[in-house]
C-alpha cells in the first residue's frame, strides 16, 4: 500500500509539534514525528547555519494537496520547505493510516 510522507523543517520543536498535532486533529495526517536537525542554506545574501526541527507527517495520497495548503497557511516561515514522497508500507499500517484520516 502507498502512503505519503511529508518532510517539513520548522524553527523550533514547539512549532513542529503544534503543526503535527493540528494536522492530526484536522485528519490531514495520521502520525507525526519531530527530529532535531542542523540546516545550512543561503538566505538573503548570507549562508545560514540554523538548528531546526523536522516534522514528518504520514498520510494517504488523497490528502496531499490539503496537507500542503494547511502547511502553507500555518507555517511561520516566509518560504516553508514542504517535501513529500509516496512510499510503500505494509498493508496493516497503511490501513491504520487510512482509518485515522478518513
Give the tens place of pLDDT for each residue, 20-69. Answer: 999 999 999 999 999 999 999 999 999 999 999 999 999 999 999 999 99
Domain parsing of the chain, residue ranges: 2-101
DSSP state of 15: H
- Per-residue cell: 22: 493540528
Q: What is the pLDDT of residue 45?
A: 96
Q: What is the pLDDT of residue 46?
A: 97
Other C-beta atoms closer than 10 Å to the C-beta of 96 total 16
Average pLDDT, the chain: 98
Instruction: Give the orientation angle of helix 64-74 with respect to helix 13-25, to 10 degrees.
Output: 140
Other C-beta atoms closer than 10 Å to the C-beta of 97 total 20
Q: What is the pLDDT of residue 77?
A: 97
Topology classification of domain 2-101: Alpha-Beta Plaits (3.30.70)
Count CA atoms within 13 Å of residue 94 on its CB side. 12
Amino acid at each position: 500500500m502507498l502512503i505519503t510522507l511529508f518532510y517539513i523543517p520548522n524553527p523550533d520543536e514547539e512549532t513542529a509539534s503544534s503543526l503535527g498535532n493540528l494536522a492530526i486533529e484536522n485528519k490531514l495526517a495520521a502520525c507525526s514525528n519531530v527530529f532535531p536537525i542542523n540546516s545550512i542554506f543561503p538566505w538573503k545574501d548570507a549562508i545560514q547555519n540554523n538548528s531546526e526541527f523536522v516534522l514528518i507527517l504520514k498520510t494517504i495520497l488523497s490528502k496531499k494537496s490539503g496537507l500542503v495548503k494547511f502547511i502553507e497557511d500555518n507555517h511561520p516561515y516566509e518560504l516553508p520547505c514542504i517535501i513529500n514522497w509516496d512510499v510503500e508500507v505494509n498493508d496493516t499500517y497503511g490501513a491504520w493510516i487510512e482509518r485515522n484520516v478518513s
